[in-house]
């Protein structure tokens, strides 16, 4: 099993206790043993990883460390399917910038992590390659859409992983699997080579066993990239620099809208415990208000679906993607290829997105949702005049049971209420596990100001160690 942090394995590699080749061999063995039940990986290429391991330079910051990569992040020479039939035979001809940076830091990409198709979902069940099991809560979903990334880390099938977060897809599966997930500030990590779902919301980020691993990965992943026009013109930083420092005097906002009676008792208890620990460490908890919280889910699903309908129009069977057989003319080819290539949830989103952008409805839905988005961003700007960070739940409940057909899509969407705001406002957010006595894993979320990841990681690390 590959439990143990990046630092743990780096120490073993540096002392010669294990070689990068042995580490990859161990990983391949664990994947072979566990994947039939967990289904965290759609595929992996042991030979390519062994070749990289043979050349790994362990003097580099991530030298010799294998990292699992979500199936929507391009990995050169490997399938990048977004867990969709639509891209079933697509082999990426290039590396995403995030992957190229990991490689340049000595890391070894390993495995294509399962996910909800095109990152649309919250349970990992919308994959064309089968659902993923939650290794920390058998019979339950691992959350989504970065279901495989989180499950791989929680199962000891990866030391760390990359996920993507459009409305919570890093933080929510991390919370449901009992590990750490960081969504950086929008623009912090290049999106070049991330297959777009909703471009104004998508961010790549790390899913790790602890907070300091998230900081270590962010050190490598961040930095301006000319290939992504939304990449922020920011230098790289050392995000571990504040970890271990006191958080006494930090002001942490608790939005009154997040103390909803819709939260499960376990989620409320986890939040209370985090509040107690933060207070013990000298932080000041301040009640704040985010008045537009009840509108975030509607605004997100309008904006995300609108952008998805546009982004996914390229998958037409001609320019990109699966092409249906036995078609009769161009329109028939488009319609059969898209009907057969996309799963039900992706089609639902494309239909919703096309509707809200269509003439006659645009102002009532899309334009209005953009106004709500601006109000949500203003709520945070106002809150951050009073506090340095915001604390809240990650999700209203712990991981739901697998194959729970009792919930309508709308009920599933509503459970994204606490993660969506950070995407709408472009803020960094981190999910930190709160240890449970035998119960299902539950995380709490800390949000920070734009580009304040180093401070956010400081508070997250302090909370993590106080809970240990």
Catalytic residues: 70, 145, 169
Handedness of CA 375, 176, 448, 71 (dihedral sign): negative
Q: How many Å is the maximal CA-CA distance in the chain?
A: 70
Which C-beta is closer to ligand GLN: that of 27 or that of 304? Answer: 304
147 within 8 A of 173, measured Cβ to Cβ: yes
For position 168 contacting ligand GLN by CB under 6 A, the verdict is yes
In angstroms, give the least distance from the CB of 145 to ligand GLN: 4
Residues in the chain: 468
Which C-beta is closer to ligand GLN: that of 108 or that of 303? Answer: 303
Residue of 2, 62, 120, 254 that binds ligand GLN (CB under 6 A): 120
d(CA 394, CA 277): 18
Which C-beta is closer to ligand GLN: that of 155 or that of 304? Answer: 304
* CA distances to 239, 312, 419, 454 from 428, in Å: 13, 26, 11, 10
Handedness of CA 43, 48, 54, 55 (dihedral sign): negative
For position 134 contacting ligand GLN by CB under 6 A, the verdict is no
Which C-beta is closer to ligand GLN: that of 68 or that of 288? Answer: 68
In angstroms, give the least distance from the CB of 367 to ligand GLN: 21
* Token pair listed for 325: 């057989």
Element (H or E) spanning 306, and its range? helix 296-311
Which C-beta is closer to ligand GLN: that of 146 or that of 242? Answer: 146
For position 209 contacting ligand GLN by CB under 6 A, the verdict is no
Residue of 125, 416, 453, 464 that binds ligand GLN (CB under 6 A): 416
**Which residues between 326 and 385 bind ligand GLN (CB under 6 A)?**
none
Which C-beta is closer to ligand GLN: that of 259 or that of 414? Answer: 414
d(CA 124, CA 55): 34
Count the Cβ atoms, other than its own, within 10 Å of residue 390.
25
Residue of 111, 167, 184, 187 that binds ligand GLN (CB under 6 A): 167
Which among 131-139, 167-175, 269-277, 324-332 is the span making contact with ligand GLN, rule CB under 6 A? 167-175
Which C-beta is closer to ligand GLN: that of 210 or that of 423? Answer: 423
In angstroms, give the least distance from the CB of 140 to ligand GLN: 16
Exposed/middle/buried for 349, CB within 10 Å: 0-12, 13-18, 19+? buried
State the helix-helix crossing angle for 97-104 and 211-221, rounded to 10 degrees: 100
CA dihedral 188, 446, 113, 197 (to 10 degrees): -60
For position 195 contacting ligand GLN by CB under 6 A, the verdict is no
For position 428 contacting ligand GLN by CB under 6 A, the verdict is no
The alpha carbon of 27 is separated from its chain's Cα centroid by a whole number of angstroms, namely 22
Q: Can you point out the beta strands (E) in 44-151?
A: 66-70, 108-113
Number of residues that bind ligand GLN (CB under 6 A): 13
Residue of 84, 97, 145, 449 that binds ligand GLN (CB under 6 A): 145
For position 121 contacting ligand GLN by CB under 6 A, the verdict is yes
For position 169 contacting ligand GLN by CB under 6 A, the verdict is yes
Residue of 42, 113, 119, 398 that binds ligand GLN (CB under 6 A): 119
In angstroms, give the least distance from the CB of 122 to ligand GLN: 4
In angstroms, give the least distance from the CB of 424 to ligand GLN: 12
In angstroms, give the least distance from the CB of 141 to ligand GLN: 12
Interior/surface letters 117-153, b for 16+ CB within 10 angstroms, e for the rest: bbbbbbbbbbbbbebbbbbbbeebbbbbbbbbbbbbb
In angstroms, give the least distance from the CB of 406 to ligand GLN: 18
Q: Which residues pair with 140 in a beta bridge?
A: 401
Residue of 35, 85, 114, 122 that binds ligand GLN (CB under 6 A): 122
Which among 90-98, 115-123, 315-323, 374-382 is the span making contact with ligand GLN, rule CB under 6 A? 115-123
For position 219 contacting ligand GLN by CB under 6 A, the verdict is no
Give me the phi and psi of 332, to 5 degrees please: -65, -40
* Token pair listed for 176: 């449901």
d(CA 182, CA 199): 18
Contact footprint for ligand GLN (CB under 6 A): 119-122, 145, 165-169, 197, 304, 416
């Amino acid at each position: 099993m590959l439990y143990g942090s990046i630092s743990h394995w780096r120490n073993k590699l540096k002392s010669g206790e294990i070689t990068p080749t042995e580490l990859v061999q161990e990983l391949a063995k664990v994947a072979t043993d566990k994947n039939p039940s967990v289904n965290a990986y759609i595929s992996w290429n042991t030979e390519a990883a062994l070749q990289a391991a043979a050349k790994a330079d362990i003097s580099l910051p991530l030298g010799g460390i294998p990292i699992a990569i979500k199936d929507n992040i391009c990995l050169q020479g490997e399938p990048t399917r977004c867990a969709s039939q639509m891209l079933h035979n697509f082999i990426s001809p290039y590396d995403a910038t995030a992957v190229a940076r990991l490689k340049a830091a000595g890391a070894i990409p390993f495995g294509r992590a399962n996910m909800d198709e095109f990152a649309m979902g919250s349970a990992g069940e919308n994959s064309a390659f089968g659902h993923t099991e939650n290794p920390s809560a058998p019979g339950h979903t691992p959350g989504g859409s970065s279901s495989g990334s989180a499950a791989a880390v929680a199962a000891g099938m990866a030391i760390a992983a990359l996920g993507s977060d459009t409305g919570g897809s890093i933080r929510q599966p991390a919370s449901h699997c009992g590990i750490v997930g960081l969504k950086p500030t929008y623009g912090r990590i290049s999106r070049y080579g991330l297959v777009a779902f909703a471009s104004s919301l998508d961010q790549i980020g790390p899913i790790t066993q602890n907070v300091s691993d998230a900081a270590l990965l962010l050190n490598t992943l961040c930095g301006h990239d000319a290939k992504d026009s939304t990449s922020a013109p920011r230098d790289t930083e050392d995000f571990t620099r504040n970890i271990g420092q006191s958080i006494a005097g930090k002001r942490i906002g608790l939005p009154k809208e997040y103390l909803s009676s819709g939260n499960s008792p376990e989620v409320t208890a986890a939040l209370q415990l985090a509040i107690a620990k933060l207070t013990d460490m000298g932080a000041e908890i301040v009640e704040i208000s985010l008045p537009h919280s009840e509108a975030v889910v509607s605004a997100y699903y309008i904006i995300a679906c609108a952008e998805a309908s546009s982004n996914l129009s390229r998958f037409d069977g001609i320019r990109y993607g699966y092409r249906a057989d036995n078609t009769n003319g161009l329109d028939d080819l488009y319609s059969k290829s898209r009907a057969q290539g996309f799963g039900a949830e992706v089609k639902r989103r494309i239909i919703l997105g096309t509707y809200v952008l269509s003439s006659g409805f645009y102002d009532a839905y899309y334009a209005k949702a953009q106004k709500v988005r601006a109000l949500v961003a203003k709520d945070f700007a106002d809150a951050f005049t009073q506090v340095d960070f915001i604390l809240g739940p990650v999700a209203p409940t712990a991981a739901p049971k697998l194959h729970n057909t009792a919930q309508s899509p709308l009920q599933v969407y509503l459970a994204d209420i606490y993660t969506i705001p950070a995407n709408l406002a472009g803020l960094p957010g981190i999910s930190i596990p709160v240890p449970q006595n035998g119960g299902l894993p539950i995380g709490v979320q800390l949000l920070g100001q734009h580009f304040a990841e180093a401070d956010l990681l400081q508070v997250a690390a302090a909370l993590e160690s106080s809970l240990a």
